[in-house]
Structure 1
């Protein structure tokens, strides 16, 4: 056996051979991979006294002989944001050039005044190139100090001669970005994407509700191509855009804690964008002047706000198809009542006793009703009974996708109104999403199909879509 691995009894030899054993027998006499880092030190003070600057921390690599160097960096830099510099303060790069004022640089006799120079051929943004005032030459003094802006107005800062930008985690060069939900480094799994096209049209010119944009919404977008105008109402019940029949100019508007960018092009195209997140509910309307060709809208909503949004949308009717005529002044509302009470006027009656139902197609509508319903099932309509305030359907349940309590083979499904939306035809099969409605005294326990709810002709494709929707419901 190797005697180096079995120490002799002499005390001095014991100590020497123990060390040799650790370095040779324990390490195998060859490289054993990288060493280990010490814990990170504390962050330094900010490199600047105002504006943007850098803070740095460091660590050391501990390694035995023949071990590889540690993987990673010895220094880590993060952005520190301080109050803006006062007017007239000398920029950091100017200050570094000015340090050489009056000092001989190119010879023992001549001195110059120096200011930053940005016109060097093949420039490195992090080189300290300074122009001699009153002369046609510049000189490079090496690298700028860490924390110097890469260029005038740039968000990037120089770190060890490289121009880096801060990630959403504040670390320079990390590349971390916020996802659509606003989470740094997230994967868009903490929010849901709401997207659809509003195709409803009114029987008269005026304001028509398009959609509720809930508190917490991000990446809001709405667009259309027509002579109509998008209108936006804040949580206080006042118009932000295109209210009271007056068309607002293109520009940026403040609403619900975010900036709304409204653009009306020379042609018929009109867009509305907002990064969010919104601090209050907003109501998107359209001021109709001609038939509505379709208004696209979308936004991302945190999962925890999806349930309250669904309840509000169902309370207003998911289509939010409640017009507000142009005649007269709009009623002033308290902030808490603003969105719940829209609109305050009743539309003029239309000749058709059963007006067209709103378009309820789209993934967002399917998710809204599947995730928020107590029952989702396939059924055949056997009969219906229209009454003054509701319609009762008798259905045969054929396949259950989701149920909070047992379903019978024969059930009644109740829909609000004499003209329910969506309508269901006799002897056809539908995929239904219903809610359980129990009155306070417990004498009635019914299945309710909400207005503008989910009742689509069953097909194998619809079966696949609804099974896929089940995977994306909030937990």
Structure 2
């Protein structure tokens, strides 16, 4: 922080004083004329003028603050305008030279050799950081056992050594992501200041797919642009990370790395390992290139939890690349071989009546919009097979076209429906437009696509394709 300059402008005081006039109408006219002189923007009493320009930075190097102000136009006796009359923002100048005296030290040094405390004694003063108010200029007399407060520190003084907060008007404020001190603005998971996390998608799952032999197994691809990466597990296995150049960053070539912070792909990866045993990886991102997460197996894999956020435009390329490489993104479903009963001789084959009753009619635009907008996935699928369990029916389908997706879909999926006679029924070897939901068990061991009773399943046709695209535009945001 540089030295304070005697010629620097002082911060304006909040509010302004008005001289009451005997005639109310003349005072109203004076307020309107005053708003014009101040740059316009105020249309009448109890309104703010436009913000003034930002002042010069309070510092000559390093971090400081700038201020701008506005005035409230109001009549005598009226309530003040709602809001602040001053706004402060962080300003960042080139770093101070090595060995520069800190800003608070300079302010204390201004009182060196001057009589204080009502006596003629003088002292040499240094900052004292143990006082309650960090934004008072508390200075310790060298060689003495007391300190003295000389009032407020200058705006832009760090609240404490190395802290990001700065003192402004006697208050300790943190800069928001918009640079305004005390605004409280934060970045969302997508990296947008003040955003609502609607420009990116979250990838989250538990990896349980690993063989029985020791060695390195692929867990997931962490693509370029990923943010807020979190990986963790509890076992004697070890996480491994490969950079875009194919070289290991962590725990490669059967050699364990020390816990710590590693700089890779334009971000800092924090790696922790405890004797619990527990391992974690975390990074704020965004990553500047792809990373490959692996696990070095030493015992059966109990599950590796991972998550990260991707920009929407990067999600589909990531899904396609991961599926092409054979890394499943969702918990795989069992694909057991189902025994077939022996077929009777052809001469004795008689058609068996279908024991399922007819389904109720559930058609119409309202029904389509309800299921389309409330579902997690809408896609065109070819039914490859059907298997009836005790209380459920499982369809094996091939995904042909995706209309709506709140997560990754593989080329082949299982769709589950309640009961042995689900409504609507799906016939093998036919194409349907399906609106399904995703159901995940509390322990994370089952991750299903679920077609609810009286849900939306229509034979696919060009007309049904047009209806689906129209429904997508009418769902509430």
Secondary structure of the residue that 2:399 maps to in structure 1?
Answer: strand
**What corresponds to 2:83 in structure 1?**
72
The correspondence for 2:146, drawn from 127, 137, 148, is: 137
Cα 1:21/1:268, change in 2 over 3 Å:
closer
**What corresponds to 1:288 in structure 2?**
297
Cα 1:18/1:111, change in 2 over 3 Å:
closer
Aligned: 1:455 with 2:438? no
Cα 1:246/1:62, change in 2 over 3 Å:
same
**What corresponds to 2:332 in structure 1?**
360
Per-residue CA shift, 1:444-467, capped at 9, x if unaligned? xxxxx9867432333399944369
In structure 2, what is the Cα distance between the partners aligned to 1:20 and 1:109? 56
In structure 1, what is the Cα distance between the partners aligned to 2:23 and 2:64? 52
- CA-CA distance at 1:359 after TM superposition: 3.1
Cα 1:424/1:269, change in 2 over 3 Å:
farther
Aligned: 1:260 with 2:269? yes
In structure 2, what is the Cα distance between the partners aligned to 1:52 and 1:203? 56
Secondary structure of the residue that 1:312 maps to in structure 2?
Answer: helix
- CA-CA distance at 1:68 after TM superposition: 2.8
In structure 2, what is the Cα distance between the partners aligned to 1:52 and 1:85? 9
Structure 1 gaps, min length 5: 1-15, 24-31, 321-357, 362-381, 383-397, 414-422, 438-448
**What corresponds to 1:430 in structure 2?**
395
**What corresponds to 2:202 in structure 1?**
193
Secondary structure of the residue that 1:201 maps to in structure 2?
Answer: coil
* Aligned partners of 1:34 and 1:71 also within 8 Å: no
The correspondence for 2:57, drawn from 30, 38, 46, is: 46
* Aligned partners of 1:116 and 1:128 also within 8 Å: yes
Aligned: 1:235 with 2:194? no
Cα 1:92/1:315, change in 2 over 3 Å:
same
**What corresponds to 2:93 in structure 1?**
82
* Aligned partners of 1:318 and 1:452 also within 8 Å: no
**What corresponds to 1:300 in structure 2?**
309
Per-residue CA shift, 1:320-340, capped at 9, x if unaligned? 8xxxxxxxxxxxxxxxxxxxx
Cα 1:432/1:404, change in 2 over 3 Å:
closer
TM-score (norm 2): 0.66
Structure 2 gaps, min length 5: 1-21, 30-42, 334-339, 341-358, 363-367, 403-407, 423-434, 439-448, 452-470
* Aligned partners of 1:94 and 1:116 also within 8 Å: yes
- CA-CA distance at 1:435 after TM superposition: 2.3
**What corresponds to 1:114 in structure 2?**
125
Cα 1:146/1:21, change in 2 over 3 Å:
closer
Aligned: 1:156 with 2:128? no
- CA-CA distance at 1:433 after TM superposition: 5.8
Secondary structure of the residue that 2:319 maps to in structure 1?
Answer: helix
* Aligned partners of 1:210 and 1:284 also within 8 Å: yes
Aligned: 1:146 with 2:155? yes
The correspondence for 1:212, drawn from 217, 221, 228, is: 221
Q: How many aligned positions are there?
A: 353
Aligned: 1:93 with 2:104? yes
Aligned: 1:176 with 2:176? no
Aligned: 1:270 with 2:242? no
Secondary structure of the residue that 2:300 maps to in structure 1?
Answer: coil
- CA-CA distance at 1:155 after TM superposition: 1.1
- CA-CA distance at 1:64 after TM superposition: 3.6
